[in-house]
């Protein structure tokens, strides 16, 4: 007898089942499993719909965290370029940098976009942690099988030497130690490497600075380095090779050094932040000052390529100044009462001559003010490289003669 489906009123007469009764039971089991599977699929869809927003929400949160982290890291780098100590402190406080010598050194050595001047200033500090960072930073350089000029090119491209003699001394001492560790037997002591490194830097300046008319010859370079290898002479072949390398290719200055106008590798006598009184309405503004080649350059930021003002120091004097509005002041002035032959850049980029009869500057401390006064007074004749070189030579000669 034919069996009608319950929904036959929709579909008409059900077809006659020609299969075996056992097949009907098997089909019923299959249909039951099918309904169960469809039910499970529906439940899975509902569960997926329920958890999908949570998954997307957690992914979005993680993405937001990464975005915030990247923004903070970029902010930390900008802070570093403005003030390296504050920048590193910000990165450490926000768990973006570990306060370990190796971690900070790697950050300074590998991270792109850091100002080379800021790196040099940070590495030159005398606190114990900074000394450890300097040692770790120099240790990241590989000097094996490089001659001294090649090693100096690599080292001095990774940062910009600061202007203060004590900072230069610490950094070049670290370089000499690392070079001798990488190349045992080349020099009898790190003192030899230290002295010759300074001699090479000074040779670079003398050969490639257009203001130096008396260019040193190979014979003079060899002569000035006699007896520096623990009382013995270095080989003429070595000195000839170093001289030829510098003569054919000068040291390159890191692009962001802000000192392109000097056309020389020679480092400034001093650099740092000072407040300057100026403008039509006299106000104090923070400026980055670089003292070099008997000129005082000032910039809005350490990263600026060109200065916004230049003060030639010829015929000028400097003195301590008492000012009721700011402490630790100094003044640049013309003792004859004449206008100072300075220039500055206006907002539209036009260079105009300054109209100052004096420049008032304010330092952050009494010590800083006195250091600036001393550096400006001595800028024409004093040279930190010459001083450091002569001191170390006296030390070497004293040891060998005793």
Residue 229 DSSP one-character state: B
C-alpha–C-alpha distance, residues 356 and 342, integer Å: 8
C-alpha–C-alpha distance, residues 9 and 218, integer Å: 114
C-alpha–C-alpha distance, residues 265 and 356, integer Å: 30
β-strands 343-345, 309-312 pairing: antiparallel
Q: Following CA atoms 370, 258, 308, 73 in sequence, which dihedral angle do they give, to the nearest 10 degrees?
A: -90
Contact 100, 93 (CB under 8 A): no
C-alpha–C-alpha distance, residues 175 and 157, integer Å: 13
C-alpha–C-alpha distance, residues 91 and 80, integer Å: 9
User: Out of 164, 173, 271, 331, which one is annotated catalytic?
Assistant: 164
Contact 114, 81 (CB under 8 A): yes
Distance of CA 174 to the CA centre of its chain: 18
Contact 293, 266 (CB under 8 A): yes
Count of all residues that appear for the chain in the document? 402
**Sign of the dihedral defined by the CA atoms of residues 333, 335, 337, 342, in that order:** negative
164 catalytic? Reply is yes
**Strands, DSSP E only, in 9-125?**
none
Which residues are known catalytic residues?
164
């Amino acid at each position: 007898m034919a069996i009608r489906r319950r929904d036959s009123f929709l579909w008409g007469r059900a077809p006659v089942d020609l299969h075996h009764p056992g097949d009907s039971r098997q089909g019923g089991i299959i249909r039951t499993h099918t309904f169960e599977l469809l039910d499970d699929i529906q439940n899975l869809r509902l569960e997926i719909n329920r958890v999908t927003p949570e998954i997307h929400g957690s992914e979005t949160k993680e993405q937001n965290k990464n975005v915030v982290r990247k923004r903070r890291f970029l902010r930390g780098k900008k802070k570093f370029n403005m003030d390296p100590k504050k920048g590193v402190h910000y990165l450490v406080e926000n768990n973006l940098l570990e306060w370990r010598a190796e971690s900070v050194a790697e950050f300074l050595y590998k991270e792109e976009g850091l100002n080379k001047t800021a790196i040099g200033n940070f590495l030159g500090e005398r606190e114990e942690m900074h000394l450890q960072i300097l040692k770790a930073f120099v240790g990241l350089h590989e000097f094996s099988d490089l001659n001294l000029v090649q090693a100096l090119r690599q080292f001095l491209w990774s940062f910009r030497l600061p202007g203060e003699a004590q900072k230069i001394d610490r950094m070049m001492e670290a370089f000499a130690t690392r070079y001798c560790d990488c190349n045992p037997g080349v020099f009898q002591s790190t003192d030899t490497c230290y002295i010759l490194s300074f001699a090479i830097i000074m040779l670079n300046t003398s050969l490639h600075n257009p203001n130096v008319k008396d260019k040193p010859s190979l014979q003079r370079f060899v002569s000035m380095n006699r007896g520096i290898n623990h009382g013995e002479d270095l080989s003429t072949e070595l000195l000839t090779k170093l001289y030829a390398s510098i003569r054919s290719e000068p040291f390159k200055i890191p692009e962001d050094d802000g000192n392109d106008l000097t056309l020389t590798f020679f480092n400034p006598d001093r650099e740092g932040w000072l407040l300057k009184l100026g403008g039509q309405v006299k106000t104090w503004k923070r400026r980055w000052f670089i003292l070099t080649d008997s000129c005082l350059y000032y910039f809005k930021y350490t990263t600026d390529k060109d200065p916004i003002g230049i003060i030639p120091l010829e015929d000028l004097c400097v003195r301590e100044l008492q000012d009721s509005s700011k402490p630790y002041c100094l003044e640049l002035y013309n003792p004859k009462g004449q206008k100072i032959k300075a220039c500055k850049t206006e907002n539209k980029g036009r260079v105009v001559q300054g109209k100052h009869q004096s420049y008032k500057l304010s330092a952050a401390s009494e010590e800083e003010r006195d250091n600036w006064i001393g550096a400006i007074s001595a800028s024409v004749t004093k040279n930190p490289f010459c001083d450091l070189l002569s001191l170390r030579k006296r030390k070497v000669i004293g040891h060998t003669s005793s």
